[in-house]
Amino acid sequence: MSNPTAFTPITVAHGDGIGPEIMQATLDVLQAAGARLDIETIEIGQSVYARGFSAGIAPDAWESLRRTRVFLKAPITTPQGGGFKSLNVTIRKSLGLFANVRPTTAYAPFVATRHPNMDVVIVRENEEDLYAGIEHRQTDQVFQCLKLVSRPGCERIVRYAFEYARANGRRKVSCFTKDNIMKLTDGLFHEVFDEIGLEYPELEKDHWIVDIGAARLADAPETFDVIVTPNLYGDILSDIAAEIAGSVGLAGSANVGQNVAMFEAIHGSAPTLAGLDAANPSGLMLAGVMMLNHIGQPQAAERVHNAWLATLEAGVHTADVFQSGQSAQKVGTQAFAQSVIERLGCKPQRLAPVSYGAAKPFALPAPKPRPPAHKQTVGVDLFVQFDGAPDALAQKLSSIQNGPLSLKMITNRGVKVWPDGLPETFCTDHWRCRFMNGGGPVTLSDIVGLSARAADAGVDFIKTEHLCTFDGVPGFSLGQGQ
């Protein structure tokens, strides 16, 4: 059993820009609330990039994160120009922080918003999708970014969202994807949502195509509760959600993995406010509340959160949320923190107080093992750089199909242009040329042979993508749309 008086080791980074000011304000409040923290401080950001570490973090800092497994992080300034990696993406992927949890709540009338009843939590997949960062310039005209989505990745995030909803007394989980277009990748996410949702009969579920779902979120956010979504959509939607709730300065977030968790404000280092004692420390404070709940100190979390709500309600506001006529006092970063400290032990009177005493951390059940599908290769897409008309390319390729593989189709940016293309279709220099064996099996040697003949014939191919069926179901888009 955990010792209720023990101090929990955490790693803290003060960051860049407004980072040091909002971190000091946050730590002052957490400690005054009785949080039992044993703090290890690491350096991240500009000074570390300047020392030649391309991801903005030094090797000894990783040691601290591995040791404490809990990271309270202030924002950093990402250097401009090439050669630098995003620190956040590096930390999320290196430490397996697969779930990005971003609650956004309206605090009307104390913070101006058109959506006074908004209370949405976005659970964003944090490691996959276009953020794999695998990009290529393939031809003179065309660049590619690979969108990678895995079944274990989907299962983990979707289950996390349902478990989060259950543990936090939420009523509904909504899934946002674009599976009408990306039928395999986003289709998998949606399919897993439907599958795992069956295990949570007490929760409402719905699915939205992300474009209309986003419009609905911006217009009527109070109709949503918990939203689970792939990485890129979640990135965009969570900033919109925070902004329409009142201010990006008010939202905290948790990046949660199996072993490590990182807590931060959702905003950046706001360099123009740095050193002015003007930034709102609320986002990082609320991230601190999430951290206290994560490390099993819910009483301290509750004291901080309720005192913070009482401060907001008293009209003690930083400049970003100050409204003349509504706010009582415009304060700087440190004075805001002092106002929260003065209210520790108080509860808000008009805003709903929070209660974390009974909250229980949840563990994700291990994914159920699945037997691997029977995979059969049935063809290959040869991607080619070519300047000319589709018929001329088909003519050129006819000379290389003297094995089991024959040319079935050519597409340009996903639109079929051969056979029977339309003359109006705009074509780039990047062509996908599909070779199949009439649906029958194809060997890797067949594909190597085709590639060798293409090279001999001077076909400038830039990649091959094997076409496989899994338990008889095509694992590739049919790509015949016009």
Residues that bind ligand NAD (CB under 6 A): 18, 75-78, 88, 248-249, 264, 267-273, 279-280, 283, 320
Distance in Å, CB of 135 to ligand NAD, minimum: 19
The Cα–Cα gap between 231 and 149 comes to 10
Distance in Å, CB of 271 to ligand NAD, minimum: 6
Angle at 55 between CA 53 and CA 59, to 5 degrees: 60
Q: What does the CA dihedral 68, 72, 74, 79 come to, rounded to 10 degrees?
A: 40
Distance in Å, CB of 473 to ligand NAD, minimum: 40
Q: And the tokens for 222?
A: 């109070």
Query: Which is closer to ligand NAD, CB of 10 or CB of 400?
Result: 10
Burial zone of 334 (CB within 10 Å; 0-12 exposed, 13-18 middle, 19+ buried):
middle
Distance in Å, CB of 23 to ligand NAD, minimum: 11
Distance in Å, CB of 63 to ligand NAD, minimum: 21
The Cα–Cα gap between 222 and 214 comes to 13
Tell me which residue of 248, 200, 250 sits closest to 228, measured CA to CA: 200
Query: Which is closer to ligand NAD, CB of 18 or CB of 23?
Result: 18
Distance in Å, CB of 11 to ligand NAD, minimum: 15
Give residue number: closest CB to ligand NAD.
268
Distance in Å, CB of 260 to ligand NAD, minimum: 16
Query: Which is closer to ligand NAD, CB of 120 or CB of 279?
Result: 279
Query: CB–CB of 68/339 below 8 Å?
Result: no
Burial zone of 86 (CB within 10 Å; 0-12 exposed, 13-18 middle, 19+ buried):
middle
> Which sign, positive or negative, has the C-alpha torsion 78, 82, 84, 86?
positive
Query: Which is closer to ligand NAD, CB of 279 or CB of 382?
Result: 279
**What is the widest separation between alpha-carbon atoms in the chain?**
83
In DSSP notation, 25-37 reads: HHHHHHHHTT--E
Query: Which is closer to ligand NAD, CB of 23 or CB of 301?
Result: 23
Query: Which is closer to ligand NAD, CB of 75 or CB of 246?
Result: 75
SS3 172: strand
Query: Which is closer to ligand NAD, CB of 173 or CB of 279?
Result: 279
Distance in Å, CB of 238 to ligand NAD, minimum: 12
> Does residue 419 have a cis bond before it (omega within 30 degrees)?
yes
The Cα–Cα gap between 254 and 147 comes to 24
The Cα–Cα gap between 439 and 469 comes to 10
Run of H or E residues at 70: strand 70-73
Query: Which is closer to ligand NAD, CB of 77 or CB of 437?
Result: 77
Query: CB–CB of 75/264 below 8 Å?
Result: yes
Distance in Å, CB of 130 to ligand NAD, minimum: 17
Query: Which is closer to ligand NAD, CB of 98 or CB of 356?
Result: 98
Distance in Å, CB of 404 to ligand NAD, minimum: 52
The Cα–Cα gap between 267 and 285 comes to 13
Query: Which is closer to ligand NAD, CB of 100 or CB of 174?
Result: 100
Residue whose token pair is 């860049």: 16
Residues ≥6 apart with Cβ < 8 Å to 319: 278, 280, 330
Query: Which is closer to ligand NAD, CB of 331 or CB of 400?
Result: 331
Distance in Å, CB of 47 to ligand NAD, minimum: 14
Query: Which is closer to ligand NAD, CB of 335 or CB of 468?
Result: 335
Distance in Å, CB of 50 to ligand NAD, minimum: 14
Query: CB–CB of 205/175 below 8 Å?
Result: yes
The Cα–Cα gap between 200 and 378 comes to 39
Question: What amino acid is encoded at 408 in this protein?
Answer: K
SS3 231: helix
